[in-house]
Structure 1
Amino acid sequence: MGQKIQPQRVALIVEDDFDVRGLAAALLEETDLKVVETTSAEEALDYLRQHSEEVAFLFADVRLPCLMNGLDLVRAVRIKWPWVRTVLTSGRPLEPDTDDMPRDVRFMQKPWRALDVLMEAEKAAQGYRRN
């Protein structure tokens, strides 16, 4: 029999700022993860509905266009796809209404350090291999 082919592991970036999204993508392309970029929470959820088994890492901004913000997105992801390692980022400190952010979501204030992002992505890739 042939070998079982593992699906490509994905880092899903959700950021509406073109330059910041490009920087995050360039950084994450240095990992073993395939990079997929989206500009809204709704677009990210559409991708997850179709490819959730491939997504190992979610890197999302708090402030996003459309109806859902990044916090809404990470709440949904933690419930529906709990294996996805999740990082939420913002140029502002967390607001008081984020007290109910899932405790296993990491927050990184912008400007984030490249090494911190890479370490989270590597943890996601390693955790995905174990599943």
Structure 2
Amino acid sequence: MSCLSEPTDPSSAPRILVVEDECFVRMVAVDMLEDAGLPVAEAPDADAALQLLEGKAQAFGALFTDIDMPGSMDGLTLAARVRARWPHIRLVVTSGRVRPRADDLPNAGFLPKPYGRSDLLGALGRAA
């Protein structure tokens, strides 16, 4: 597993998009999901995630995104945009610094950092 600065190509129809700017944290989340047998794509920020989703959103069933990220938008804004454009994608947001209110989440689950594999899988399984 390498830490890519560019998003991975979803040509193999990945199911979960992991969006995290911290390379090591992204690698760990991707490894947890892949070890559970789930297909995964990754993006280093919200802008790259939206590029990946454009025209290929049907290939994704879930989005797991950090809240605090550099770029033109944070993870909450990304989640809201994904909810509005692609309501079939289940959403889970995470943060080690921010505890969003339920009103701030666009029908998304919240998973505080640090989290373990069972926490991540459970949050994705409960996501609407």
Same fold (TM over 0.5): yes
* Higher-Rg member (1/2): 1
Question: Which interval holds the TM-score relative to the shorter structure?
Answer: 0.7 to 0.9
Deviation at 1:41, TM superposition (A): 0.4
The TM-score normalised by the length of structure 2 is 0.81
The verdict on how the C-alpha distance between 1:33 and 1:122 changes in structure 2, with shifts beyond 3 A counting, is: farther
Alignment map for 1:1-131 (pairs within 5 Å): 8-95=13-100, 99-102=103-106, 104-122=107-125
The TM-score normalised by the length of structure 1 is 0.79
Gapped runs of 5+ residues in structure 1?
Answer: 1-6
Q: Identity percentage over the alignment?
A: 37
Number of residue pairs matched by the alignment: 117
Question: Does the CA contact (< 8 Å) of 1:90 and 1:109 recur in 2?
Answer: yes
- Cα separation, 2, equivalents of 1:44 and 1:122: 21
The verdict on how the C-alpha distance between 1:79 and 1:26 changes in structure 2, with shifts beyond 3 A counting, is: same
- Cα separation, 2, equivalents of 1:119 and 1:81: 22
Deviations 1:16-74 (A, max 9, x none): 00110000000010234321110110100011113100001101000111110000000
